[in-house]
């Protein structure tokens, strides 16, 4: 059975980092709010802080990792979910209120 893990996003900060272990491997995540694009962007780094994937837009209704099968990313799916049911993209203050970043282990 697959596990669903909620990643620790912050609410109103324009930039923050956290480390999570996904499918047995530790990753560092940098989340930055791009005011020009009005979007959250995510960077994924390994434990030595070497970039794996930079600047992923955090958008709903898609597996954020699926289009990068050759990169050393977590093997599961990474999804932004709008818990309000409005199908809105996440804004500056919407994580932990209306949106969550979830990892689905394979």
Q: Please check the confidence at residue 2 and state whether its pLDDT lies above 90.
A: no
Domain ranges within the chain, ordered by starting residue: 4-104
pLDDT digit string, tens, across residues 10-29: 876 889 999 999 999 999 99
Question: How far, in Å, CA of 33 to CA of 80, rounded?
Answer: 15
Q: Please check the confidence at residue 1 and state whether its pLDDT lies above 60.
A: no
pLDDT digit string, tens, across residues 38-47: 999 999 999 9
Mean pLDDT of 43-68: 97
Question: How far, in Å, CA of 14 to CA of 50, rounded?
Answer: 22
> Cβ(64)–Cβ(58) under 8 Å?
yes
Mean pLDDT of 46-61: 96
């Amino acid at each position: 059975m697959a596990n669903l893990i909620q990643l620790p996003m912050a609410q109103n900060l324009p930039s923050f980092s956290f480390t999570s272990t996904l499918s047995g491997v530790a990753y560092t995540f940098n989340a930055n709010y791009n005011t020009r694009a009005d979007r959250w962007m995510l960077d994924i780094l390994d434990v030595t802080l070497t970039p794996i994937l930079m600047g992923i837009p955090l958008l709903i209704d898609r597996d954020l990792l699926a289009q990068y099968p050759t990169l050393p990313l977590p093997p599961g799916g990474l999804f932004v979910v709008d818990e309000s049911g409005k199908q809105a993209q996440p804004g500056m203050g919407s994580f932990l209120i209306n949106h969550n970043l979830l990892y689905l282990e394979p």
